[in-house]
Structure 1
Amino acid sequence: MATEVSDFYGRRYRIGESDQELLGHSRNWVLAAACAAMLVAGAGQYGFGLIVGGGNYWLLAIWVATQAVAVFPLALLRERLHVRPTPAMIVGAILSAVGDLFAGPWSAVLGGLGAAIVYGTCFGVVAKWFPERRTCLGLVSGSFAAGAVLFATPLPIIAVVVITACGIVLREPPADWWPQSPDPRKWALDKTMNLSLRHSRPAIRRYTPGELLRCPTSAVMYVLVACAAAAWLFDVAYMAAFVTSSGWGYAFAAVAVCLLTVASGVARWATGWAGEQFGVGKVVRAALALGALGQLLLIVAGQNQSGVLLAFAALLVGTTAGCCYALLPALVEAHFGDQAGLLNFGLVYSAKAVGGIVGIGLAASMVATYGYAAGFLLAAGLGVTGAIAGGLLRQPGVPRLLVPV
């Protein structure tokens, strides 16, 4: 029998129902289905980056900008209209399949919309089923990054079949659902049970998307995400061309891109532990700073024809970028509270669109004029800027200096 309880902060929880009772199977099946769907949806991003390439980098910028901007409004529309995950995922599958034809700007827009539907739906559903295990969102995000392994396959067919099948598995729990253990009231206060409390207190309350936009903290976080996205997407778009222009063959270029993207995916799967142990904000700032170092190492590796150094730099850049993306939902929740369907996260995530335009589109003219070194220097500068912005983040409503009791 379901009952509602409230914790010390006034947050409500629905307890008493297990995932087995509501689904007929473990909630881990929902997580697995979301990861599989994200794997296929993310392949389109790398398809535009690696298959289209050449002088058409703006197509990748269009895909990224569309996907990033559309996540929030589409997730909000789904929540307001109470659209179930299955029909949303079917629409996302069809649009993703059309986008995976790589046929031009219209294909990039439709593909971005399809990926946005899948991204927002999978993130929202998994967040509702795993309220006490936010690290599971890193698994979902990592699957999106690992989509690079599929970019050379018949993507349209795979997108329709896999995403639709996964959509059938996805179902949402009742509002404010919480698993039978741990006790949510203890979880909100016990640092031995909830390790994230060791480094930061929960947000003072749940902010609506409109309230989030009025907070100065949201502007700082937007800058952080835009800088991180621009640096990462520059590497995704130009790594293969940079490697071949530096004297290596296409085979090594493919290896470098795989190292970059796979490292990002693996880091997203594993980085939740680091956030709990050292604090989400500290890990994000450290990742941005180390990512900037990796950009500089790429320049040195290219100039000195050091394949080992280039491979190490690609791993470093991919790993640090993966950390930033995986911890972004936790960073948003720590400052603005959780929201049904992760709407606040979707709003902050839209900064990726700015990153795509700067890191892919505008960077094309810089690379054409000044070479790849200038682009990597820009990416390093953006990483440092993002790290500085991370240091300026403050929880809204919490005074910087507390009066001692």
Structure 2
Amino acid sequence: MTTTDVTQVASYREVTDRNGRVYRVGESDIDIMGRKRKWMVILPWVGMMGISSAEYAFASAEDTLHEAHHWSSGSIYWMMTVWVFCQAAVAFPAGRLRENGKLPARWAMMLGAAGTLMGYLSLAYAPHVAIAFFGFGMFSGMGAGMVYATCVNMVGKWYPERKGGKTGFVNGGFAYGSVPFVFIFTGFMDGSNFRWVLVAVGVFLAGVVAVAGFYFRDPPKNWWPPSVDPLNPPEDPRARRALEKNPPADKQYSPLEAWKTGRVALLWFCLACTSGVNIFGIAFQVDIGEDAGFAGGIVATAMSLKAIVNGTGRGVIGWLSDLYGRKLCLLYVCAILGLAQFGIIWSAEMKNLTLFLIFSAISGFGGGAIFPMFAALTADYFGENNNATNYGMVYSSKLVSGLGAGMGSVVVGAWGYNGAFTLAGCISIFAGFMALFLSPPGRNNKRRITPNPQPLGEEMT
């Protein structure tokens, strides 16, 4: 990759569509940052892989942490809940600082890398579980939140004309980047070597995040690729179909304007429900598999399969949403995620390993596919200029859904695995019902009707 921080001076002009939305056209990606915009898909994807193991592989390390530190299983699950809580909590303030220019993308990624390293050091050397709650739960969670928000919003800004597939691809790195570490934590790490394994993993992943983030660069406000005419149907059939199925926002909404439309609250609720089900599955799929009598290595394979399908599902559903529309795809995903929970119960009761692996994969697909849908819908509804802040409001729903791990342990203790997974399935299906009420704001009210200069009657006289 060749790059330079000295951008070329290029002329641009601003055009306005029939709704009053402004587009800045004329500057190419190379003019702005000295390299093609595809790097703003590849690098965020790499950055997302660097933070994925903290959430998706953490449950696989639970037994070793319990043995080595004598931490209770409940404490470890609540530590994951704190991590998810802090990851979501930082999304809105970090997005606000990003949009105000006070936190450049490069520095957000560096802070994320520092948090990642601190989290793994805490798991390795914390003398008390409370220290791990701060080091891993808080600092690693906040660092991951900065990386996540920066990467997801970066790709949407560089691909405003067909963001679905690109957003899904980047989002997928947050899942399948954890696959090697699931096997490391379950098959290699034990009470005798856990410290150096955790430190090595932390140093490696922090370096991945820092190197990827060093090359991040935001486009100017209202930027639109010069190869796509924002006022007329594009010649590229992929871009034309994506814009037909998912029209751009009628204007660039500020966070307050976006909130007043009511769509943010509905998106928030639907994401809270579905991501809670996803987090619950991540935390307890290993346990229900072991309870069914499957060997530890097999359960790790199921968890890895879930992570792989979770990640690839994000890219696939993003691509499909460009073809068929994001709302329709979201409805299908909510149903798939909900029904998969019942399939996991059924296969565990039957002790059928093949079905368990199949439904684990389906659950992984549904649990991953929800995230790029909400990220892309937020940009579709409210525009790209304030997307880091607007999506930060929507993504803050993980403040609640993070309870899928901690409260999940309470529900499992009270109702057993069958009751807990049944509740999770019903919650996801209910979220799909609520998503039926989603619609883009302002578009119906912005229709322009040109009055007839000669009203009917005068034409006939």
Q: Calculate the TM-score normalised by the size of structure 2.
A: 0.82
Query: Secondary structure of 1:268's partner?
Result: helix
Q: Does 1:387 align with 2:415?
A: no
Q: 1:197 to 1:179 in 2, by over 3 A?
A: closer
2:133 paired residue number: 105
Query: Secondary structure of 1:325's partner?
Result: helix
User: Percent sequence identity over matched residues?
Assistant: 30
Q: 1:125 to 1:190 in 2, by over 3 A?
A: closer
Q: Structure 2: how far apart are the matches of 1:399 and 1:180?
A: 28
Alignment of 1:260-271 (within 5 A): 260-271=306-317
Deviations 1:18-68, CA, capped at 9 Å, x for gaps: 222222222222321111111011221124332136332111111011101
Alignment of 1:294-313 (within 5 A): 294-313=340-359
| Shift, 1:385, TM fit | 1.1
Deviations 1:207-265, CA, capped at 9 Å, x for gaps: 22122333333222221101101111110001111101110110111011111111010
1:257 maps to a residue whose letter is: M
Q: Structure 1: how far apart are the matches of 2:320 and 2:154?
A: 24
Q: Structure 1: how far apart are the matches of 2:234 and 2:264?
A: 24
1:117 maps to a residue whose letter is: M
Q: Structure 2: how far apart are the matches of 1:71 and 1:208?
A: 16
1:180 paired residue number: 226
Query: Secondary structure of 2:293's partner?
Result: coil
Q: Is the 8 A contact 2:279 2:402 kept in 1?
A: yes
| Shift, 1:191, TM fit | 8.6
1:298 maps to a residue whose letter is: I
Q: 1:207 to 1:178 in 2, by over 3 A?
A: closer
More moved, 307-316 vs 75-84: 75-84
More moved, 243-252 vs 123-132: 123-132
Q: Structure 1: how far apart are the matches of 2:57 and 2:309?
A: 18
More moved, 281-290 vs 195-204: 195-204
Q: Does 1:60 align with 2:80?
A: yes
Q: Structure 2: how far apart are the matches of 1:105 and 1:188?
A: 51
Query: Secondary structure of 2:218's partner?
Result: coil
1:334 paired residue number: 380
Deviations 1:314-340, CA, capped at 9 Å, x for gaps: 111111222211211222233333333
More moved, 304-313 vs 277-286: 277-286
Deviations 1:162-188, CA, capped at 9 Å, x for gaps: 111111111122222222211122258
Q: Structure 2: how far apart are the matches of 1:335 and 1:193?
A: 18
2:38 paired residue number: 28
1:130 to 159, 168, 173: 159
Query: Secondary structure of 1:180's partner?
Result: coil
| Shift, 1:399, TM fit | 5.7
Q: How many residues align?
A: 403
Q: Structure 1: how far apart are the matches of 2:277 and 2:38?
A: 33
1:38 paired residue number: 48
Q: Does 1:93 align with 2:93?
A: no
2:6 paired residue number: none
Q: Structure 1: how far apart are the matches of 2:318 and 2:133?
A: 36
Q: Is the 8 A contact 2:156 2:379 kept in 1?
A: no
Q: Is the 8 A contact 2:53 2:177 kept in 1?
A: yes
Q: Is the 8 A contact 1:48 1:59 kept in 2?
A: no
Q: Does 1:372 align with 2:382?
A: no
| Shift, 1:90, TM fit | 1.3
Q: 1:190 to 1:158 in 2, by over 3 A?
A: closer
Q: Calculate the TM-score normalised by the size of structure 1.
A: 0.92
Say which one has the larger Rg: 2
More moved, 220-229 vs 187-196: 187-196
Q: 1:293 to 1:343 in 2, by over 3 A?
A: same
Q: Does 1:248 align with 2:276?
A: no
Q: Is the 8 A contact 1:67 1:112 kept in 2?
A: yes
